[in-house]
């Protein structure tokens, strides 16, 4: 049985065997239920991204369960979620390890991202309305201003890329790309860490934005593909 923890609403009355009943004189908002293992998965995810749990490291379930103040059941459920995302590798008889990215892994992820995101960018160039273009333009301007703040640049870069996917409207592509981008955060060879790569990346973003503003879908596709090719080349150095 899963060990879940739900947040109760003070305006709800709980009775054994029946659904919660709203208090008579209360206006009750929808009750949002979040399983404990989801909170645990997010905490683990952030520790992995922050390198508190570095790539290749063994995940000590007993220690983490004690640190989090939970049983090992929700922790194991959380590890299954992260394994499905590719952030954790389960090894039979040895437990869970933070996934390590080889150069081949990085190349394969870049290849998939280039395919999916160039297609999304082309669709956005053809279909985006004025408000959506203005949103992309605003994110790009924030990105330009954050060139000297690497953490802010990383966050804004991801928001800009994901905004293109959202505008394109293919939820399956968005889901796959979101997972691939999580995995990319494991890479020690991340292209944006390379000397001069931030400036090059901005120049490539400008080319993509010009193509989007011109509503040129194929030029946008080519510019996005070139962006990922340059990123992979920088990561391989």
- Residues linked to residue 21 through DSSP beta bridges, in sequence order: 13
| CATH code for the domain in which residue 60 is found | 1.10.10.10
Residue 189: the pLDDT is 52
Q: Are residues 74 and 146 in the same domain?
A: no
Q: Are residues 72 and 152 in the same domain?
A: no
Last residue of a domain, one of 100, 123, 141: 100
How far apart CA 57 and CA 233 sit, in angstroms, is: 27
Q: Are residues 59 and 142 in the same domain?
A: no
pLDDT in tens, 21-44: 444 444 545 545 678 989 999 999
| CATH code for the domain in which residue 200 is found | 1.20.120.530
Q: Are residues 79 and 113 in the same domain?
A: no
Q: Print the domain residue range for 230.
A: 103-236
How far apart CA 51 and CA 103 sit, in angstroms, is: 19
Q: Are residues 205 and 108 in the same domain?
A: yes
What is the domain count for the chain? 2
Q: Are residues 87 and 145 in the same domain?
A: no
Mean pLDDT of 146-155: 88
Q: Are residues 140 and 172 in the same domain?
A: yes
Supply φ then ψ for residue 31, to 5 degrees.
-85, 120
pLDDT in tens, 184-231: 888 865 666 666 788 899 999 999 999 999 999 999 999 999 999 999
How far apart CA 230 and CA 223 sit, in angstroms, is: 11
What predicted TM-score, i.e. pTM, was given to this entire model? 0.75
pLDDT in tens, 107-150: 999 999 999 999 999 999 999 999 999 999 999 999 999 988 88
pLDDT in tens, 158-176: 999 999 999 999 999 999 9
Q: Taking each helix axis as running N to C, give the angle between helix 72-85 and helix 36-49, from 0 to 180 degrees, rounded to the nearest 10.
A: 60
User: pLDDT band at 65, cuts 50/70/90?
Assistant: very high
Q: Are residues 111 and 91 in the same domain?
A: no
């Amino acid at each position: 049985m899963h060990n879940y923890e739900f947040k109760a609403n003070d305006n709800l009355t709980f009775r054994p065997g029946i659904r919660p009943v709203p208090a008579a004189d209360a206006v009750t908002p929808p009750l949002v239920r979040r399983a404990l293992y989801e909170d645990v998965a997010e905490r683990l995810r952030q520790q992995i991204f922050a390198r508190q749990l570095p790539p290749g490291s063994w995940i000590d379930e007993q220690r983490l369960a004690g640190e989090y103040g939970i049983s090992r059941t929700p922790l194991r459920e959380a590890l299954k979620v992260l394994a499905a995302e590719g952030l954790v590798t389960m090894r039979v008889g040895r437990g869970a390890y933070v996934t390590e990215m080889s150069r081949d892994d990085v190349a394969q992820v870049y290849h998939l991202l280039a395919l999916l995101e160039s297609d999304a960018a082309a669709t956005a160039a053809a279909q985006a309305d004025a408000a959506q273009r203005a949103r992309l333009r605003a994110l790009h301007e924030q990105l330009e201003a954050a060139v000297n703040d690497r953490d802010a640049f990383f966050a804004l870069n991801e928001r800009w890329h994901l905004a293109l996917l959202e505008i394109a409207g293919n939820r399956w592509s968005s889901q796959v790309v979101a997972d691939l981008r999580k995995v990319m955060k494991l890479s020690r060879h991340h292209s944006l860490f390379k000397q001069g790569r931030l400036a090059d990346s901005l120049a490539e973003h400008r080319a993509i934005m010009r193509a989007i503003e011109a509503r040129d879908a194929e030029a946008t596709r080519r510019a996005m593909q070139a962006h990922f090719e340059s990123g992979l080349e920088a990561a391989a150095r």
